[in-house]
């Protein structure tokens, strides 16, 4: 991981590339570029909202649903506040709703606070959501929101606004992939997110580094496991290719199998 976001490096992958380059008819730089392209596409395709076998538009749909769930775990609607009060006292709930409908939210908030300890207040524009960040994930299991907003329309508009960012992290791989001449997976590059490709070629080594510079990338749950999965997938493919090469070499040499 990198303080700038997500930077890919893997000793087993580099070892497999060196081994492949030593047996390929292509130049080492060309081999490295080809394999980097394959690896980096795999990484882009496991970056949220992608998840396992969920890809493309379905991943986008699930990502937006996750965004909405997280936000609604923090902010409740007036109707949800009514239901919370009604579970204890329907008369208080009716009084709450009456005052809310009359735009007397000060009285409605007092009723809600007396009944549940919660408050009713104008939507804060997402400040609380921004402060909670990824911790909102844990709050989804709670029975009630942190506080209830006076305007459901304002909350809905905010949810739609944040949902538009669902491809931002994955789009951090777009510029490096374009530099490699890769076809972008669905959604990657949909937003203008920061990322870079660094290529170093010396007489001793060839190094290609792709960095997703979205600042919160390193804090995303399970992201390292996802990256490791993509890398291991490519290493596995290269290992199988190497095994096939050894078997062919053994056969050409008159051996029935590799030693």
Q: How confident is the model at residue 203 (pLDDT cuts 50, 70, 90)?
A: low
The answer to whether 76 touches 144, Cβ cutoff 8 Å, is yes
Among 163, 187, 206, identify where a domain stops. 163
- Give dist(CA 132, CA 48) in Å, integer: 19
Task: Please tell me whether the overall predicted TM-score, pTM, comes out greater than 0.95 for this model.
Answer: no
Q: Tell me: pLDDT of 259 over 80.
A: no
Q: For residue 128, what pLDDT is reported?
A: 92
Q: HSE on the CB side for 40, CA within 13 Å?
A: 34
Task: Please compute the mean of the pLDDT values over residues 108-122 and round it to a whole number.
Answer: 95
Q: For residue 6, what pLDDT is reported?
A: 67
Which domain covers residue 95, as residue numbers?
A: 61-163
Strand (E) positions, the chain? 6-7, 75-76, 120-121, 147-149, 195-201, 206-212
32 in the same domain as 114 = no
As for how many domains the chain has, the answer is 2
Instruction: Dig out the tokens for 157 from the structure.
Output: 């508009």
Among 110, 145, 163, identify where a domain stops. 163
What tens digit of pLDDT does each residue of 136-186 get?
A: 444 444 556 889 999 999 999 999 999 999 999 999 999 999 998 999 999
Q: Determine, yes or no, domain membership for 257.
A: no
89 in the same domain as 147 = yes
Task: Please compute the mean of the pLDDT values over residues 127-136 and round it to a whole number.
Answer: 74
Q: How confident is the model at residue 1 (pLDDT cuts 50, 70, 90)?
A: very low
Instruction: Dig out the tokens for 116 from the structure.
Output: 């549940």
Q: How confident is the model at residue 225 (pLDDT cuts 50, 70, 90)?
A: confident
Q: For residue 2, what pLDDT is reported?
A: 46
Q: Determine, yes or no, domain membership for 69.
A: yes
What tens digit of pLDDT does each residue of 29-85 get?
A: 787 788 888 888 988 998 999 987 788 899 999 999 999 999 999 999 999 999 999
Q: Determine, yes or no, domain membership for 56.
A: no
**pLDDT greater at residue 218 or residue 118:** 118
Q: For residue 139, what pLDDT is reported?
A: 46
Task: Please compute the mean of the pLDDT values over residues 185-213 and round it to a whole number.
Answer: 85
Percent of the chain with pLDDT over 90: 48
Chain-wide mean pLDDT for the chain? 85
Q: Tell me: pLDDT of 17 over 50.
A: yes
Q: How many CB atoms lie within 10 A of CB 36?
A: 25
- Give dist(CA 243, CA 259) in Å, integer: 11
């Amino acid at each position: 991981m990198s303080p700038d976001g997500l930077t890919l490096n893997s000793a087993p992958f580099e070892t497999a590339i060196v081994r492949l380059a030593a047996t390929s008819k292509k130049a080492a730089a060309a081999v490295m570029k080809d394999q980097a392209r394959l690896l980096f596409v795999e990484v882009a395709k496991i970056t949220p909202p992608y998840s396992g076998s969920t890809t493309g538009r379905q991943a986008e749909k699930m990502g937006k649903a996750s965004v909405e769930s997280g936000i609604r775990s923090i902010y409740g609607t007036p109707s949800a506040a009514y239901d919370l009060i009604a579970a204890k006292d329907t008369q208080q709930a009716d009084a709450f709703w009456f005052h809310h409908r009359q735009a007397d939210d000060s009285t409605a908030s007092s009723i809600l606070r007396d009944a549940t300890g919660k408050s009713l207040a104008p939507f804060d524009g997402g400040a609380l959501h921004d402060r909670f960040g990824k911790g909102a994930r844990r709050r989804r299991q709670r029975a009630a929101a942190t506080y209830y907003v006076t305007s459901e329309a304002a909350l809905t508009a905010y949810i739609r606004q944040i949902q538009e960012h669902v491809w931002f992290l994955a789009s951090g791989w777009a510029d490096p992939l374009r530099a490699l001449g890769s076809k972008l997976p669905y959604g990657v590059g949909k937003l203008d997110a920061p990322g870079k490709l660094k290529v170093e070629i010396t007489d001793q080594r060839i190094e290609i580094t792709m960095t997703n510079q979205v600042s919160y990338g390193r804090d995303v749950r399970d992201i390292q496991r996802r990256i490791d999965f993509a890398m291991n997938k490519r290493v596995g493919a290269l290992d199988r290719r190497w095994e096939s090469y050894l078997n062919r070499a053994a056969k050409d040499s008159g051996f029935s199998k590799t030693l």
